[in-house]
């Protein structure tokens, strides 16, 4: 049976990412893995995390990478110089350090620019919707907006709205994975001393490091 793996917020925790990937039994010839965004900021090796995922994606069309709000802030800061205060408040300094203080997009590797600008807001299968932050309740999936998919929090988390598929998300850290009838939350605060979490579907097996 084909497996689906989803990985929560990494936030520069390269060691956790490598250990997690080494510990899951994934067949890259048939299984899929989806990263839910927030690869950067706060942790010590944002650039290393991006290098690792780019290497993982090479020659594979079953590795899906979503955008988180932190990637959006980073690109917006480098491209337009906007929202500097918000960028720094959200741990952006550690990312700048890892890239040796870039001033514009041209100061980071071209492969990284291509990675960041290729990130999608969501990935959908027959049974699941993968998204960074969540979806707005009572709004059909095809009417959802990118800002909500990257930033929404309480309105989604506190809702029991049935989107017709299970929503797998990160963004909001929990002490342990949040598993409910309509949603699965897998940000368990790796950068805050918690675990980096991966959920294996459809058998709901949790992998952590």
pLDDT at 119: 98
d(CA 139, CA 118): 25
Is residue 156 in some structural domain?
no
How many domains is the chain built from?
A: 1
> Rounded CA gap, 196 and 36, in Å?
12
Q: Residue 147: inside a domain, yes or no?
A: no
- Give the pLDDT confidence score for residue 57 in this predicted structure: 97
CATH assignment at residue 112: 3.60.21.10
Q: Tell me the H-state helices in the chain.
A: 14-23, 46-57, 69-80, 84-89, 92-98, 110-118, 146-151, 154-157
**Tokens for 23?**
């510990």
The C-alpha atoms of residue 50 and residue 108 are separated, in whole angstroms, by 11
Per the domain annotation, does 121 fall within a domain? yes
Residue 160 resides in a domain: no
Q: Is position 57 within any domain?
A: yes
The β-bridge partners of 129 are 124, 167
Residue 29 within a domain: yes
Residue 172 lies in domain: 4-131+165-208
> What pLDDT score does 121 carry?
98
In a domain, 18, yes or no: yes
Please report the pLDDT score of residue 179 as a whole number. Answer: 98
Taking the C-alpha atoms of residue 121 and residue 113, their distance in angstroms, rounded to an integer, is 17
Low-confidence residues of the chain: pLDDT under 50: none
pLDDT for 1 equals 73
| Residue 36: inside a domain | yes
């Amino acid at each position: 049976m084909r497996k689906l793996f989803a990985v929560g917020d990494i936030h520069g925790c390269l060691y956790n990412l490598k250990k997690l990937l080494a510990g899951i039994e994934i067949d890259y010839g048939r299984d899929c893995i989806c990263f839910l965004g927030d690869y950067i900021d706060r942790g010590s090796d944002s650039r290393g995390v991006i290098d690792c995922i780019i290497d993982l994606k090479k020659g594979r069309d079953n590795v899906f990478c979503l955008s988180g709000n932190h990637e959006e802030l980073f690109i917006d800061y480098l491209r337009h110089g906007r929202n500097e205060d918000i960028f720094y408040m959200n741990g952006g300094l550690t990312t700048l350090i890892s890239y040796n203080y870039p001033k514009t997009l041209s100061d980071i590797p071209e492969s990284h620019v291509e990675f960041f600008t290729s990130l999608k807001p969501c990935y959908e299968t027959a049974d699941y919707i993968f998204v960074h932050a969540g979806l707005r309740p009572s709004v059909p999936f095809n009417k959802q907006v990118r800002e909500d998919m990257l930033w929404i929090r309480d309105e989604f988390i506190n809702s029991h709205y049935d989107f017709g598929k299970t929503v797998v998300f990160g963004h909001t850290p929990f002490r342990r994975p949040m598993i409910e009838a309509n949603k699965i939350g897998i940000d368990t605060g790796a950068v805050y001393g918690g675990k980096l979490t991966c959920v294996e579907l459809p058998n709901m097996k949790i992998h952590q490091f």
